[in-house]
């Protein structure tokens, strides 16, 4: 046993899986470089240190993964589209988990831990292993299931026992769900360290995985894989609609158990006002809220070892250095956030931003510089302030999105793309930023004086041009609200209670099983937490709408599209998930100086980077069927079947 654990310790350290105590157990040391290999299984503290390192193998944390769908993009990149669902293929980590599980019986026999501690540790190990396999099956289909260490399979010859064949995709899903359930049965209802998985973390993950398996089963034929592929014929990459109901039932049951336990709740539920809702939704992503966070990372120390890497998402005006404003949000997303009818009654009004007098918002410019003419000016709705179109937006929009004219870190963030001069001539993306006067008041084409702008400034002589975005929305959700801090302390939630509520609601809508009344209550609880006072009907469209806005910038919408086989593909029937536009859009504010007082108009358009002025981008975005299954890593060396062949 000692020989094996010396090996595992070295392998973990060499793989770079060493973590500080903050990364997963906020009050537990998890740095294996400080633990002698023999001590790892000789004391309970050693086992805890080893377990803390196993958590680090999951690779949880911030990313810009959702830039692959309609709602986000690189700020100055050609609009891209594709799967960004995270995967996992690290059998070294799985071996480490298996060795940890196998060490527990010996530790109990030696009196190092008692049976209750052993079972709790086993539950965590099984949870971690199930999580790893969930990340694999959702991307690769059926995979080799290795549920024990393979030390005895080394025979000094061909070592054939090490080459574990792939299980079918359905077998793999069933195994993952069973492992999450077994973990839940062993884990305590609450852990002393809040970053550790508990009973309801495991059940919440089971609900997530079951909904994924159900959705993929129901919608597999939206994007079927070529039936001549070997992996399809062997059902390694194959699901069918007949599987769906049983998975939906498991999702409903697991989610319901979490909800009914009372162990978690929505942070800031039922706020008294829009302002209170906005404050709550801001605070939720400034400090980890254990009442809502079932699983995640707190980044509590705010030092270089826990840097979440998001500060370069801030606009140009807020960040020093070259790399800034790298993450953009599209008009497609901004339109999804509903309006309140008023701050007093707070009932829902459709969120599509009004730009035209006619109210027809389906039109957009493919080349706004060329196509926006003086003659079209009369068609545009005029606003008194640049912030007017956003002021009654959903509290989540206010808390999580920086928009034109928004206040952030005591600055007004200038996002403007031109002006209408006193003679009624339109200037979009002009080659100067010289002051234009209305009376004694100076107005700048790009919204601010000199370099004091964050968006659209395109002058070749502007040395900071590549720090400015082609979209007029940017993330606020994870940024330190007060200061520029490279090592911010904002948390990352991998699993929030609101996801459990929406999982139940979606599973009920899709399957017709469960309790529709409860599902509607859970759906509206998420909305009410955002400040809305009315209820919406339990429909699939309303549930998906909440997935979009509740988890903006959390990479969850990419997962929804992936599991529902709903990434945009113009060759297939447009879906209610992505719609039929097939383009990422921006909003271009202009100050209009042609009337008695300054007004603002807003133009819907493709971003500059989607026009011939930039990189000659053309065509629609698309996602091909084969992209739903990733290529199997090292399939030749590991002697296992490849996908899509």
Of 114-118, 222-226, 422-426, 454-458, the range with the lowest mean pLDDT is 454-458
Q: Is 540 in a helix, a strand, or coil?
A: helix
> 15-29, 42-56, 434-448: which has the minimum mean pLDDT?
15-29
Instruction: Report pLDDT for 397.
Output: 98
Determine the distance from the C-alpha atom of residue 477 to the mean position of all C-alpha atoms in its chain, rounded to a whole number: 12
Q: What is the pLDDT of residue 14?
A: 31
Q: How far is CA 289 from CA 270, 272, 276, 294, 482, in A?
A: 16, 20, 17, 9, 19
pLDDT of residue 5: 31
Q: Residues of the chain with pLDDT > 90: what percent?
A: 67
Contact indicator for 196, 124 with CB cutoff of 8 Å: yes
Q: How confident is the model at residue 43 (pLDDT cuts 50, 70, 90)?
A: confident
Question: Does residue 610 have a pLDDT over 50?
Answer: yes
Model confidence at 586: pLDDT above 80: yes
pLDDT, tens digit, for every residue of 241-277? 999 999 999 999 999 999 999 999 999 999 999 999 9
DSSP letter string over 10-41? HHHHHTT----TTTS-TTS---GGGS-GGGGT
Distance in angstroms (rounded) separating the CA atoms of residues 369 and 318: 28
Confidence of residue 38 (pLDDT cuts 50, 70, 90): low
CA distance readout (Å), 253 to 176, 182, 514, 549:
16, 15, 8, 25
Residue 51 buriedness (CB in 10 A; 0-12 / 13-18 / 19+) = buried
H helices present in 315-371, as ranges: 331-336, 368-371
Residue with the larger pLDDT of the pair 201 and 162: 201
Distances in whole angstroms, Cα of residue 523 to Cα of each of 86, 517, 554, 621: 26, 10, 19, 31
Residue bearing the bigger pLDDT, 132 or 33: 132
Q: What is the mean pLDDT of the chain?
A: 88
Residues contacting residue 596 through CB under 8 Å, at least 6 positions apart:
none
Provide the 8-state DSSP code for 449.
Answer: S
What is the spatial distance between Cα 413 and Cα 319, in angstroms, rounded to a whole number? Answer: 12
Residue 468's pLDDT is 77
Long-range contacts, stretch 218-224, CB < 8 angstroms, 24+ apart: 218/244, 218/510, 219/563, 219/564, 219/565, 219/566, 220/565, 222/564, 222/565, 222/566, 222/572, 222/575, 223/565, 223/569, 223/572, 223/625, 223/628, 224/625
pLDDT for residue 25 = 45
Q: What is the pLDDT of residues 144-157, one digit of tens each?
A: 999 988 877 776 77
Report whether 179 contacts 133 (CB < 8 A).
Answer: yes
The reported pLDDT for the residue numbered 462 is 55
Instruction: Classify the phi-psi angles of 603: left when phi > 0, otherwise alpha if psi is within -120 to 50, otherwise beta.
Output: beta
The DSSP symbol for 455 reads B
Provide the sign of the torsion angle of the four alpha carbons 4, 5, 11, 12, taken in this order. Answer: positive
- DSSP code of residue 462: -
Between 73-77, 385-389, 533-537, the lowest mean confidence (pLDDT) is in 73-77
pLDDT-based confidence at residue 578 (cuts at 50, 70, 90): confident
pLDDT at 207 exceeding the cut of 50? yes
SS (H, E, C) 579-617: ECCCCCCEEEEEEECCCCCCEEEEEEECCHHHCCCCCCC
Is the whole-model pTM more than 0.75? yes
Token pair for 434: 């010289």
User: In sequence order, what DSSP letters do the residues of 102-145 get, joined into one string?
Assistant: HHHHHHHHTTSS-HHHHHHHHHHHHHHHHHHHHHHHHHHSS---
Phi, psi of 210 (to 5 degrees): -65, -40
End-to-end CA distance of the chain: 42
CA 102 to each of CA 95, 191, 285, 366: distance values in angstroms, whole numbers, following the listed order = 10, 22, 38, 61
By the 8 A CB rule, do 426 and 373 touch?
yes
For residues 218-226, give the mean pLDDT: 94
């Amino acid at each position: 046993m000692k020989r094996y654990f010396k090996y595992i310790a070295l392998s973990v350290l060499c793989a770079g899986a060493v973590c500080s105590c903050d990364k997963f157990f906020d009050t537990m040391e998890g740095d294996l470089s400080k633990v002698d290999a023999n001590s790892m299984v000789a004391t309970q503290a050693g086992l805890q240190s080893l377990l803390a390192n196993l958590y680090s193998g999951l690779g949880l944390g911030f990313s810009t993964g959702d830039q692959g769908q309609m709602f986000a993009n690189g700020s100055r990149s050609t609009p891209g589209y594709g799967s960004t669902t995270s995967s996992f293929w690290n059998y070294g980590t799985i071996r480490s988990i298996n060795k940890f599980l196998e060490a527990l019986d010996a530790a109990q026999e030696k009196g190092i831990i008692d049976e209750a501690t052993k079972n709790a540790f086993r539950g965590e190990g099984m949870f971690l292993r199930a999580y790893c396999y969930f990340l694999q099956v959702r991307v690769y289909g059926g995979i080799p299931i290795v549920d024990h260490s393979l030390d005895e399979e080394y025979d000094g010859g061909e070592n054939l026992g090490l080459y574990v064949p792939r299980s079918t995709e359905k077998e793999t899903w069933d195994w993952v769900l069973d492992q999450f359930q077994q973990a839940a049965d062993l884990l305590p209802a609450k852990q002393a360290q809040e970053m550790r998985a508990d009973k309801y973390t495991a059940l919440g993950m089971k609900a997530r995985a079951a909904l994924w398996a159900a959705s993929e089963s129901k919608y597999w034929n939206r994007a079927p894989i070529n039936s001549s592929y070997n992996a399809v014929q062997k059902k390694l990459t194959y699901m069918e609609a007949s599987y769906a109901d049983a998975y939906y039932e498991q999702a409903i049951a697991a989610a319901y158990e979490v909800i009914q336990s009372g162990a978690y709740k929505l942070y800031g539920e039922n706020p008294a006002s829009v302002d209170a809702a906005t404050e709550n939704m801001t605070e939720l992503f400034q400090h980890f809220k254990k009442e809502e966070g079932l699983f995640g990372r707190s980044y509590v120390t705010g030092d270089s070892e826990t840097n979440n890497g998001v500060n370069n998402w801030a606009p140009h005006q807020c960040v020093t250095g070259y790399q800034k404003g790298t993450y953009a949000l599209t008009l497609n997303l901004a339109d999804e956030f509903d309006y309140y009818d008023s701050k007093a009654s707070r009932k829902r009004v459709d969120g599509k931003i009004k730009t035209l007098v006619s109210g027809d918002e389906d039109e957009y410019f493919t080349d706004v510089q060329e196509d926006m003419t003086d003659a079209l000016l009369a068609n545009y709705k005029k606003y008194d302030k640049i912030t007017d179109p956003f002021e009654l937006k959903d509290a989540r929009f206010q808390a999580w999105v920086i928009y034109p004219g928004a206040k952030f870190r005591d600055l007004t963030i200038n996002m403007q793309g031109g002006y209408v001069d006193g003679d009624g001539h339109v200037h979009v993306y002009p080659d100067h930023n010289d002051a234009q006067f209305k009376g004694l008041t100076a107005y700048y084409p790009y919204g601010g004086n000199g370099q004091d702008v964050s968006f659209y400034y395109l002058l070749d002589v502007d040395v900071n041009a590549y720090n400015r975005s082609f979209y007029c929305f940017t993330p606020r959700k994870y940024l330190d609200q007060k200061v520029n801090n490279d090592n911010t302390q904002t948390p990352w939630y991998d699993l929030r209670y609101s996801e459990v509520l929406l999982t139940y609601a979606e599973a009920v809508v899709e399957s017709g099983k469960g309790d529709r009344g409860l599902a509607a209550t859970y759906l509206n609880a998420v909305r009410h937490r955002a400040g809305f006072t009315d209820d919406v009907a339990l429909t699939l469209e309303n549930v998906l709408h909440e997935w979009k806005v509740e988890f903006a910038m959390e990479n969850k919408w990419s997962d929804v599209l992936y599991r529902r086989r709903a990434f945009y593909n113009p060759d297939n029937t447009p879906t209610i998930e992505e719609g039929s536009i097939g383009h990422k859009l921006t909003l271009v504010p202009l100050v209009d100086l042609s009337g008695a007082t300054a007004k603002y108009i807003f133009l819907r358009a493709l971003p500059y980077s989607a026009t011939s002025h930039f990189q000659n981008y053309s065509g629609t975005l698309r996602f091909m069927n084969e992209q739903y299954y990733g290529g199997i890593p090292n399939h030749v060396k590991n002697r296992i079947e490849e996908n899509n062949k």
